[in-house]
């Protein structure tokens, strides 16, 4: 029976007997496929199907775009300073320093005399009238005509020296367009 | 054949991404390169044709008191004038340009202030031109101004009653 089946199978092949015999012999031996080939095939398949790049986050692909866009925005800001208002930024160095000084005065609790009803004044408000204006600068300029001055409160810009630069600091604050409320 | 889809995916060909990045880089460089030219550029011909320059003299009348210090807020209220320059006044005490915020230039509002520590006999009294504000007026509509004297003081630093006025110079 087996023989007949074998004859029938062999009868369907039109190959030399040597080849048939060799092929029959090969079927019994395991075929060795190196692991590297498997990995290469899987990698190629992932690349083809798009699975492999999940490990590389999508964000990593945005990096060059983000850098390019940030560079362009920075260039626009440099070239067109007024664009900062449009982009939501604001404030020059002078404004920032003014605000910082104002904040600093408030946080350091530079309080006024008892006559001031406990109100805190900004450093530039030398005459303690509740507003920084040219009279404060004028007051310091008049005092500078009679040196030496030792009151540290008169060192408005904090450079350790009481001079005309402190007057200019007060005057700059007085005419600043960023001020709020009375001036 | 690959079809392009508008997403950040690998379907963007490398050459396309490269071209966009190159374009952004070129835009950045061009923006920086043409910056000085932009700043120095003249106004468009259409706008230039309709604009003129004007000067507004600012006066303070301190009556009989010597004027040692003042602070004034000036603004153009109908949006047709931009401040382009500020100069001092007639009196020797206020001949130097006053203090003002540089951000006022090319805008319509400014606070000017000045003082002089000289003795009373060297200070002006009465009506004195203390500054002149130069403006660029765009269009045919006449500009409107507003002036507010915030403070004026005598040589002792005490506030005095004074009046501030302005006068637009006649164009020649």
Q: Which residues, other chains included, contact B88 with Cβ-Cβ below 8 Å and sequence gap of 6+? A: B94, B95, B96, B97, B98, B114, B130, B131, B132
Size of interface A-B (CB pairs under 8 A): 106
Prediction pTM value: 0.55
Binned at pLDDT 50, 70 and 90, residue A24 comes out as confident
| A67/A98: higher pLDDT | A67
Q: What pLDDT, on a 0 to 100 scale, did the predictor assign at position A69? A: 86
Max CA distance (Å), chain B: 92
Residue of A nearest to B110 (CA): A177
CB B114 within 8 A of CB B96: yes
Provide CB contacts within 8 A for A35, sequence distance 6+: none
| ipTM of the predicted assembly exceeds 0.95 | no
Cα A34 to Cα B56: distance, rounded to the nearest angstrom: 91
CB contact (8 A) between residue A79 and residue B100: no
Closest Cβ opposite residue A172 in set B24, B99, B110:
B99
Task: Please give the Cα distance from B70 to B152 (Å, whole number).
Answer: 4
Rounded to 5 degrees, φ, ψ at A57 are -60, 155
pLDDT string in tens for chain B (172-residue length): 444 444 444 455 555 566 777 777 777 777 766 665 444 444 444 455 688 999 999 999 999 999 999 999 999 999 999 999 999 999 999 999 999 999 999 999 999 999 999 999 999 999 999 999 999 999 989 999 999 999 999 999 999 999 999 999 876 5
Q: What is the DSSP letter of A111?
A: B
Measured between CA atoms, the residue of chain A closest to residue B104 is A177
Chain A residues within 8 angstroms (CB to CB) of chain B: 50, 53, 58, 61-62, 64-65, 68-69, 71-72, 74-76, 78-80, 92, 127, 133-135, 137-139, 141-142, 145, 168, 171-172, 174-178, 183
Which among B25, B27, B103 has CB closest to A177? B103
| From A50, A135, A175, residue closest to B69, measured CB to CB | A135
The backbone torsions φ and ψ at residue B121, rounded to the nearest 5 degrees and listed phi first, read -70, -15
Contact A171/B113, CB-based, under 8 Å?
yes
Q: Which of A53, A64, A172 is closest, CB to CB, to B10?
A: A53
Distances (CA, A) of B127 to A50, B44, B63, B134: 83, 41, 7, 20
Do A93 and A174 meet the contact criterion of CB atoms below 8 Å apart? no
Task: Check residue B81 and give its pLDDT.
Answer: 94
> For A34-59, what is each residue's pLDDT tens digit?
888 889 998 898 888 876 555 566 67
Contact A69 B24 (CB under 8 A): yes
Minimum mean pLDDT range among A21-35, A108-122, A123-137, B77-91: A108-122
Q: Spell out the alpha helix ranges (H) of chain A.
A: 2-12, 17-27, 35-49, 58-79, 83-87, 93-107, 134-144, 164-175
Say whether residue B25 is in contact with chain A using an 8 A CB cutoff: yes
Q: Cα(A74)–Cα(B146) distance, rounded to whole angstroms?
A: 38
């Amino acid at each position: 029976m087996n023989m007949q089946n074998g004859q029938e199978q062999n009868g369907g092949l039109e190959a030399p007997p040597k080849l048939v015999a060799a092929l029959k012999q090969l079927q019994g031996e395991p075929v060795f496929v190196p692991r590297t080939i498997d990995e290469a095939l899987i990698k190629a398949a992932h690349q083809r199907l798009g699975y492999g790049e999940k490990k590389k986050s999508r964000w990593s692909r945005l990096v060059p775009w983000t850098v390019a866009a940030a560079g362009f925005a920075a260039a626009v800001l440099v070239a067109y300073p007024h664009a900062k208002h449009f982009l939501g930024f604001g404030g020059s160095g002078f404004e920032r320093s003014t605000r910082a000084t104002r904040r600093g005065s408030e946080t350091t609790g530079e309080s006024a005399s008892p006559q001031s009803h406990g109100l805190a004044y900004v450093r530039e408000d030398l005459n303690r009238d509740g507003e920084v204006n040219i009279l404060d600068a004028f007051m310091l300029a008049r005092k500078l005509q009679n040196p030496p001055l030792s009151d540290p409160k008169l060192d408005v810009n904090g450079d350790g020296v009481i001079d005309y630069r402190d007057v200019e600091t007060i005057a700059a604050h007085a005419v600043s367009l960023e001020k709020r409320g009375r001036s | 054949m690959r079809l392009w889809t508008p997403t950040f995916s690998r379907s963007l060909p490398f050459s396309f991404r490269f071209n966009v990045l190159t374009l952004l880089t070129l835009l950045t460089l061009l923006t920086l390169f043409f910056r000085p030219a932009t700043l120095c550029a003249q106004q468009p011909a259409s706008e230039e044709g309709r604009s003129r320059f004007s000067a507004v003299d600012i006066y303070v009348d301190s009556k009989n008191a010597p004027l040692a210090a003042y602070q004034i807020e000036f603004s153009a209220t109908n949006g047709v004038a931009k401040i382009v320059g500020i100069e001092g006044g007639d009196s020797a005490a206020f001949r130097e340009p006053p203090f003002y915020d540089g951000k006022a230039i090319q805008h319509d509002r400014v606070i000017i202030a000045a003082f002089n520590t000289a003795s009373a006999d060297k200070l002006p009294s009465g009506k004195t031109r203390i500054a002149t504000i130069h403006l660029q007026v765009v269009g045919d509509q006449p500009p409107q101004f507003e002036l507010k004297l915030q403070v004026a003081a005598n040589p002792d630093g005490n506030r005095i009653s004074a009046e501030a006025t302005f006068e637009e110079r006649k164009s020649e």
